[in-house]
Amino acid sequence: MLFSISYVQNAPTQSLLSVVNGILDESIERKNGEIPHRVACLLRKVVQEIERRISTQAEHLRTQNNLYKSREEKYQSRIRVLETLATGTGEETQTVINQLQQIKTEKTKIEEKKKLEEQDVIRLMKEKDHSDLEISAVKQELEIARKTYEERCLQLETHAKEAKVEFNERLKELECLLTDSTKKVKELESFSESKCQSWNKKENIYQSFLDFQFGALRELKVASESIKQEILKTQRSYSKEFNHLGAKLKELADAAENYHMVLVENRRLYNEVQDLKGNIRVYCRIRPFLSGQNGKQTTIEYIGENGELVVMNPSKQGKESHRLFKFNKVFGPAATQEEVFLDTQPLIRSILDGYNVCIFAYGQTGSGKTYTMTGPEASSKEDWGVNYRALNDLFHLSQERRSSFIVLTVHVRGTDSETGSALRGSLHLVDLAGSERVERSEATGDRLREAQHINKSLSALGDVIFALAQKSPHVPYRNSKLTQVLQSSLGGQAKTLMFVQLNPDVDSYSETLSSLKFAERVSGVELGAARSNKEGMDVRELMEQVASLKDTIAKKDEEIEQLQMLKDFRIVSPNVNGEKSRTSSLRFGSPSPSRHSIGGIPQRSQGLSAGKGSGLIEKAVSDQDNCSEYSDKHSEVGSQQSKLAGGEAGQNFPADVELLGLGDADSEERLNDIFDGGISIGTETDGSLCSPVEFTLIPEGGKPAENTEKPKISSKIAQIQQKLGQTASSQLSVSKDSLKVSTSSRKNTTGASASAAKTSKRWQ
Ligand X SMILES: Nc1ncnc2c1ncn2[C@@H]1O[C@H](COP(=O)(O)OP(=O)(O)OP(=O)(O)O)[C@@H](O)[C@H]1O
Applying CB under 6 A, among 131, 274, 298, 365 the residue interacting with ligand X is 365
Applying CB under 6 A, among 131, 279, 298, 367 the residue interacting with ligand X is 367
Each residue 515-554 as x (binds ligand X by CB under 6 A) or -, in order, gives ----------------------------------------
369: contact with ligand X by CB under 6 A: yes
612: contact with ligand X by CB under 6 A: yes
Nearer to ligand X, 356 or 370 (CB): 370
Total number of residues shown for the chain: 764
| C-alpha to C-alpha distance for 373 and 431, rounded to whole angstroms | 6
Q: How far is CA 236 from CA 55, 233, 243, 362, in A?
A: 135, 5, 11, 66
Applying CB under 6 A, among 371, 477, 653, 763 the residue interacting with ligand X is 371
For residue 288, the minimal CB distance to ligand X (Å) is 5
For residue 404, the minimal CB distance to ligand X (Å) is 13
Residue nearest to ligand X (CB): 368
- Helix axes of 13-30 and 37-88: crossing angle, nearest 10 degrees: 150
- List the alpha helices (DSSP H) in 35-89: 37-88
| Burial readout 2-16 (b: 16 or more C-beta within 10 A, e: otherwise) | eeeeeebeebebeeb
Q: State the number of CA atoms in the 13 A half-sphere of 127 facing the CB.
A: 20
Q: How far is CA 650 from CA 113, 148, 631, 674, in A?
A: 174, 146, 17, 19
Q: Which residues make up each annotated binding site?
A: 363-370
Each residue 118-157 as x (binds ligand X by CB under 6 A) or -, in order, gives ----------------------------------------
Applying CB under 6 A, among 307, 368, 492, 646 the residue interacting with ligand X is 368
| C-alpha to C-alpha distance for 741 and 153, rounded to whole angstroms | 159
283: contact with ligand X by CB under 6 A: no
Nearer to ligand X, 50 or 519 (CB): 519
628: contact with ligand X by CB under 6 A: no
* Stretch of 95-103, 359-367, 628-636, 650-658 contacting ligand X, by CB under 6 A: 359-367
For residue 679, the minimal CB distance to ligand X (Å) is 32
| C-alpha to C-alpha distance for 7 and 406, rounded to whole angstroms | 145
For residue 398, the minimal CB distance to ligand X (Å) is 15
Which 3 state secondary structure label does DSSP give 4? coil
Each residue 578-607 as x (binds ligand X by CB under 6 A) or -, in order, gives ------------------------------
* Residue among 515, 503, 512, 517 at smallest CA distance from 296: 503
Nearer to ligand X, 368 or 602 (CB): 368
Amino acid letter, 339? E
| C-alpha to C-alpha distance for 718 and 542, rounded to whole angstroms | 11
Q: For the segment 484-513, give every residue that binds ligand X (CB under 6 A).
A: 501
Q: Are 669 and 757 in contact (CB under 8 A)?
A: yes
For residue 444, the minimal CB distance to ligand X (Å) is 17
Each residue 285-314 as x (binds ligand X by CB under 6 A) or -, in order, gives --xx-x------------------------
* Stretch of 168-176, 204-212, 358-366, 449-457 contacting ligand X, by CB under 6 A: 358-366
Which 3 state secondary structure label does DSSP give 406? coil
Nearer to ligand X, 298 or 635 (CB): 298
Nearer to ligand X, 355 or 388 (CB): 388
Cβ contacts of 451 within 8 Å, gap of 6 or more: 438, 441, 443, 611
Nearer to ligand X, 275 or 618 (CB): 618
| C-alpha to C-alpha distance for 206 and 220, rounded to whole angstroms | 20
Q: For the segment 395-454, give every residue that binds ligand X (CB under 6 A).
A: 433-434
Nearer to ligand X, 494 or 616 (CB): 616
For residue 449, the minimal CB distance to ligand X (Å) is 17
Nearer to ligand X, 370 or 696 (CB): 370
* Residue among 97, 98, 66, 101 at smallest CA distance from 109: 101
Q: Which residues make up each annotated binding site for ATP?
A: 363-370
* Stretch of 370-378, 455-463, 626-634, 707-715 contacting ligand X, by CB under 6 A: 370-378
Nearer to ligand X, 436 or 618 (CB): 436
Region for residue 339 given its phi and psi (left: phi exceeds 0; alpha: psi -120 to 50; beta: otherwise): alpha
Amino acid letter, 468? L
Q: Are 638 and 755 in contact (CB under 8 A)?
A: no
Task: Give the DSSP letter of residue 478.
Answer: G
For residue 379, the minimal CB distance to ligand X (Å) is 9
For residue 726, the minimal CB distance to ligand X (Å) is 48
| C-alpha to C-alpha distance for 17 and 36, rounded to whole angstroms | 19
366: contact with ligand X by CB under 6 A: yes
| Count of chain residues binding ligand X (CB under 6 A) | 16
| Burial readout 141-155 (b: 16 or more C-beta within 10 A, e: otherwise) | bbeebbeebeeeeee
Our CA angle for 11, 15, 19, nearest 5°, is: 110
Dihedral Cα 250, 255, 257, 260, nearest 10 deg: -160
For residue 290, the minimal CB distance to ligand X (Å) is 5
Nearer to ligand X, 323 or 369 (CB): 369
Beta 357-363 vs 534-535: how paired, if at all? unpaired
Q: Which residues bind ligand X (CB under 6 A)?
A: 287-288, 290, 363, 365-371, 376, 433-434, 501, 612
